[in-house]
Amino acid sequence: MNLYFKSWCLSFIILFLSNGSYLFGQIASDANSSCLINGRIISKSDNSGIAYVTIASVLNKSIGAVTDEHGYFELKLKGKCIDSVFISRVGYTDTIICLTATQKFYEIALQEKIVQLDEITVSSSKLVRLVVGEDLVKAIGSRKTFSARIVQSNQPGTALGNFYEVRGLKGFIDSVFILIQKEFLPCKLSLNIFCFNGSLKDYKLTPLNGWRSLMKEPVFIEINEQLAIIPLKEVSFSECDYLIFSFVPLLITDIKDGYQYGMVSYSSKNKSAKRFFMFGNRFAVLPPTDGLIAMYSILSVEK
Report the chain's mean pLDDT, rounded to a whole number: 78
pLDDT tens, residue by residue, 205-264: 888 888 999 998 888 888 888 888 888 877 999 999 999 999 988 766 666 666 677 788
Burial of 97 (0-12, 13-18, 19+ CB in 10 A): middle
Question: Is the distance from CB of 88 to CB of 1 less than 8 angstroms?
Answer: no
Helices 3-17, 21-29: axis angle to 10 degrees equals 90
Q: How far apart are CA 277 and CA 206, in angstroms?
A: 11
Multiple choice CATH, 3-110, 3.40.50.970, 3.40.50.12280, 2.40.50.140, 2.60.40.10: 2.60.40.10
- The pTM for the full model equals 0.68
pLDDT tens, residue by residue, 133-187: 887 767 766 666 666 677 766 666 678 899 999 999 999 898 998 988 888 888 8
Burial of 170 (0-12, 13-18, 19+ CB in 10 A): middle
Domain boundaries, the chain: 3-110, 124-302
Q: How far apart are CA 82 and CA 18, in angstroms?
A: 13
Q: How far apart are CA 266 and CA 288, in angstroms?
A: 8
pLDDT band at 83; cut points 50, 70, 90: confident
* Residue % of the chain over a pLDDT of 70: 76
